[in-house]
Amino acid sequence: METRHFKNIIIGFGKAGRALAKTLSQHGEEALIIERDQAMYGGTCPNVGCAPSKTLIVAGQKNMNFSEAMATKYKVREILHNGAYHGAADEPLVYVMDGIARFINQETLEVVNGDKISKVIGERIFINTGATPVIPEISGIQESKNVITSEGAMELSELPKKIVIIGAGYIGLEFAGMFNKFGSKVTILEPHSTFLPKEDDDISREIFKDLKASGVEIHLGVKVEKITDSEVLAGGQTYSADKILVATGRRPNITDLNLEKAGVELSESGYIKVDDDLKTSTENIWALGDVRGGGQFYYLSTDDFRIVNNQLFGDHSRKLSDRTLVPYSVFISPTLSRIGLDEKQAKKAGVNYRLFKMAAAPIVKSKVVQDTRGILKALVDPKTDEILGATLYHEDSHEVINLVSLAMKMHTPYQILRDQIFTHPTMGEGLNDLFQNEVK
């Protein structure tokens, strides 16, 4: 059996891992990337996650037909996939090995690629294997030929006339909006009785109303009992479907790693446990990206890389605990974006706040794009005038939220955004109006 030694071994070709491999090479250190699936060079986002899904969502909003949208998605994915691969693999000290990595001990890995088995030894090992959709235990789900996950939904050759989506979380809602735009009859089945319970009630109600108005059928508080090739039995009702999309969460890709042989511990939720420097319970092993839990966003994987890079080559000042402000966006129509506290969280924590709130309709740009739906909300500290959080549900909120994020990070008083000179017409200038509309 072939045995090779590397100073750095990275398991998984995700964003954090490939960025780290490139940086290690630029610092004169060898780095081996082990990837079990060549189609996943680059990780989840460019291949089966945010980039292809948002390409399809935008295509639907532009009234592109399904076949054209899929062709566009494949082109975008190929460009991003190749760019991600060559961005790391073309570095002189980066090596790529295909195969399934398994720990033998904390420094040694067995890599299986078909009939070939290799052994590699690393001084440092970085786990960057990502996460994968959860398949819940439902009668018939394994046998059904038409059950798909979010990944499978982006590989369909034909548009389903009827699609049932199990789960009304953010992923389920994005795909519901997408398939609805393409012309599918969409039915969402959600076991919880509350729609989007993590959001403020007024925001959840508005999104629910808009989805229903667009033609999406939503059933709350229904338990899925059985699935066949063409039907879903839930809450005593039968729903017919050409495809059944399961959107019930994600789990870490750790099944084949044999983490126990390396002494790597897991959290209560089953993800790899890390400290403030992203080190695992084993001194020479780190975990980056979705596999360590927390928010599963491309930009957080990027920031994980920054933390490790700072630990290896910087002043050791960057920590996971510094990451207190993380914006996110849900690409429904219009987009939902958030950062910091909302009213529900503030009340639960006993935080005093001033509330600013307005409808999106008065913003000139919303009339220009002919989509006046939505609500803007922001919470402000009554003592410091700093922004505590914002929820933006309107056209282009995924861009505007970054302005609020920057203002919060810089401890900027809300009056700066209230009086800022913005270009016109833009959704960003809605912040001028928002911070003049205090709810007394």
Confidence of residue 2 (pLDDT cuts 50, 70, 90): confident
Q: Where on the phi/psi map is residue 327: left (φ > 0), alpha (ψ -120 to 50), or beta?
A: beta
Cβ-contact 340, 389 below 8 angstroms: yes
Specify the pLDDT at position 369.
96
Kindly tell me if the per-residue pLDDT of 172 is higher than 90.
Answer: yes
- Residue type for position 57: I
Q: Tokens 């975008």 correspond to what residue?
A: 76
Torsion of CA 34, 39, 42, 46, to 10 degrees: -160
For the stretch 180-239, pLDDT in tens is 999 999 999 999 999 999 999 999 999 999 999 999 999 999 999 999 999 999 999 999
Specify the pLDDT at position 317.
96
DSSP H or E stretch at residue 21: helix 15-26
Sheet holding 231-234, edge to edge: 224-227, 231-234, 237-240
- Residue type for position 34: I
Confidence of residue 279 (pLDDT cuts 50, 70, 90): very high
Taking CA atoms, 151 is separated from 49, 52, 83, 133, 224, in Å, by 7, 10, 21, 8, 21
The residues annotated with a catalytic role in the active site are 424
Confidence of residue 334 (pLDDT cuts 50, 70, 90): very high
Q: How far apart are the first and last CA of the chain?
A: 73
- For the chain, the average pLDDT equals 97
Cβ-contact 429, 423 below 8 angstroms: yes
Task: Find, among 176, 17, 177, the residue nearest to 84 by Cα.
Answer: 17
Confidence of residue 304 (pLDDT cuts 50, 70, 90): very high
Specify the pLDDT at position 241.
98
Torsion of CA 47, 51, 54, 56, to 10 degrees: -50
DSSP state of 273: P
Kindly tell me if the per-residue pLDDT of 1 is higher than 80.
Answer: no
Cβ-contact 63, 333 below 8 angstroms: no
For the stretch 7-41, pLDDT in tens is 999 999 999 999 999 999 999 999 999 999 999 99
**pTM check: above 0.85:** yes
For the stretch 100-132, pLDDT in tens is 999 999 999 999 999 999 999 999 999 999 999
For range 244-264, the mean pLDDT: 97
